A = this chain, B = another copy of it.
C-alpha cells in the first residue's frame, strides 16, 4: 500500500539568517564530480543548491515519527511577537484585533519577521555562492562594478564556468552588441515588460514590500508552527500545489499522510487536503502535525459533511463554526467561493459543462434552493475577521471556472473574477493575506487574457490556477495538458499552479500518479522561472547541461527533478556500471554520438574554447 518514499539526492544543509540568527533555512546541496579533460587534467564542479520542501522528513539527522509529528519550528517566533493568546481549546488566536498577527499586517507596519527573512534566503538558493565565487576571483571588483554586473547577468543565463570568468576583460559594449545583433534578449528584458521580473537578489525588505503591496503572501497559520515559511508571488519562484484527501469512495488516513510526505519530498510547495469522506477532522490533524508545507482546505466540504451531504441544510453558522475549527487546527489557507453571486448562476445553465467546481456547485445549489445571496459574500467581513485572527490566508475560489474549452472566458467566469477583485481589497483591509484562484479549461490563445484581467481586476494579488488545460480530449494525460497551460500562464505571472494528475476526470490518484504530477508541475514552474529570469533558476540547467556534455552520468541523474527515474531509464538499455562512465549512450551508440564528436571538434580548436 505505502509505496517507498523518494530518495532525496544531495546533502541537507542549513543557511542561517542575519537579521534573525535563529533561522535555519533548509536546502539540499548536490555534489558533482570533477570534469575530466583529454589531457588527463581535472577541474572541480561546484555543488548545486536546490530548493527543498521536504522539511524534517528530508533531514537524515531528524528522526520524526508520524505519530509524534514534526518539530514546531515557528513556535518561538510566534510567541516572541507577544500578540497572541490561547483560546479555551488551547489554540492560539490574536490578542488584539486591530493589529492582527498576519504577515500582511506585520509587513504593512514595517516589521520584518523571521518568516520574511526565511523566504528571502530560500528564494536566493545558490545565488549567494555564485556571487562569492565571482568576487573572490576579481578582488578589484569595486573599481569595475559595471563589468561585474554584466558578468553576473551572464551567469544567471549563461554557463558559469571558469573560461567565462576569464573572459571578463573582453566583456563590454561590443560583445553585448553582438548579442543584440543576433536577437539575444536577457529574460529580465521580457520579464520587466510583463511585471514578473525578479530582483537580482532577494532581501528581507523586498519580501516585506511585496507582502505589504499584496503582490505576495506567506500562508502561515499561527496554529501550524510546523510549516516552513514559503512565499507565493509572481516575482518569486513559481510554486506548485498538490491535492490529497480521502473521499467517500476510498483512501484512509495513514495513506493520506504518506501521500503528503511523498508530495513534499517530490517538491510540492503547498498541499491541499480535499477530504470529503468520514474522519475529516482527524485526517487533517494528522496531516497538519506532519506537514512542513502550508496546508490548504475547502471548508465548505466539511460543513456539508456536517449536514449529512444535504446542501439545503447548510447555514452560515455551520460554516462559521467549521472555519473556526479549521483555523484553530492550523489550516494555512482556505478556498472560499465567496465571489460566486446568485445572479451569475442562471448564466451557467446554457454552458457546455455548467459548473465544475465542487465548492462552486454546492454554493450555487444552496443559493438556488434558498433564493438567497451567497452567505460567504454577505458575511465577508466576519469571514475576514476570523481569518485575520489566525493568519489564515484566503484563496478566493473561482466556482464558475470553465470546465471545457467551449466555456472558456465566458460571462459567468469573468463576472466572478471581477467580484474576486472586490473581495481581495476588502480582505486586505482586514490584514488578511489573499490569492485568487483561476481556471480551468482554457485554449492557449485565451490564456494571456486570463492573466492580464486577473492582474488588473484583482489588484495584482497572486494568481493560483488549476491548469489551465488547453484541450479537453486528453483524459489520462491531463497532467501534461495542464503543464502546457500552466507553464504559459506562470511565465506571464501566475504565482502558483495547482497540479492536475493523469487521473483527473477519471479517478483518484495513487502514489505514482502524485509523483508524476508533482514532477511535471515542477518542470512547468521551472520553465516559467527561467523565462521570468529568476536569478537562480538557470544555474541548475547549466550544471545539468555541462554534466551531460561531459558524460558525467551520475551528476546528470542527481541534478534531475526525478533522479531515480532518470537512472532507471538509462539503465533499461545500458544496465552495466561501467556504462555510467561511457562517453556515449544507447541512443546513438559510440560512432554517432554528437556530444563525443563535438568534443573532438573542441580539441581540434583549442584556441576557441
Contacts and interface: CB of A to CB of B under 8 A. Distances in A.
A504 B586 CA distance: 10
Interface string A535-551: 00010111011101100
A348 B602 CA distance: 8
Contacts of A178: 411
Contacts of A483: 480, 483-484
Contacts of A364: 597-598, 601
Contact of A356 (B365, B415, B598): B598
A474 B361 contact: no
Interface in A569-600: 569-570, 572-574, 585-595, 597-600
20 contacts: A185-B446, A190-B445, A277-B589, A356-B594, A357-B594, A403-B594, A441-B545, A444-B488, A444-B528, A474-B519, A475-B566, A476-B560, A477-B523, A477-B565, A480-B483, A484-B484, A485-B527, A503-B572, A505-B556, A507-B587
Interface string A171-185: 000000010001111
A120 interface: no
B484 A569 contact: no
A345 interface: yes
Given A507-B569, A589-B276, A484 B524 contact: yes
A523 B569 contact: no
A510 B569 CA distance: 10
Contact of A182 (B411, B472, B541, B572): B411
A451 interface: no
A390 interface: no
Contacts of A358: 588, 592-594, 597
A461 interface: no
B523 A474 contact: yes
A406 B480 contact: no
Q: Which of A479, A503, A532 has the most CB of B within 10 A?
A: A503
Nearest to A519: B477
Interface string A397-416: 00000011110011100110
A608 B364 CA distance: 15
- Which of the listed residues A414, A471, A502 has the most CB atoms from chain B within 10 Å of its own CB? A471
Interface of A: 157-159, 163, 178, 182-185, 187, 190-191, 247-250, 276-277, 301, 304, 309, 311, 345-350, 352-358, 360-362, 364-365, 368-369, 403-406, 409-411, 414-415, 441, 443-446, 449, 453, 470-477, 479-481, 483-485, 487-488, 491, 502-508, 510, 519-520, 523-524, 526-528, 530-533, 538, 540-542, 544-546, 548-549, 556-557, 559-562, 565-566, 568-570, 572-574, 585-595, 597-602, 604-605, 608-609
Given A352-B542, A507-B587, A566-B506, A449 B531 contact: no
Q: State how many copies of this chain the complex holds.
A: 2
A158 B350 CA distance: 11
A301 to B, nearest CB: 7
Contacts of A605: 345-346, 349, 368
B304 A354 contact: no
A198 to B, nearest CB: 13
Contact of A487 (B349, B444, B573, B594): B444
B480 A247 contact: no
A138 to B, nearest CB: 20
Given A470-B530, A545-B472, A591-B248, A444 B491 contact: yes
A183 B449 contact: yes
Given A159-B406, A404-B542, A526 B354 contact: no
Contacts of A557: 475
Contacts of A182: 409-411, 414-415
A224 B231 CA distance: 59
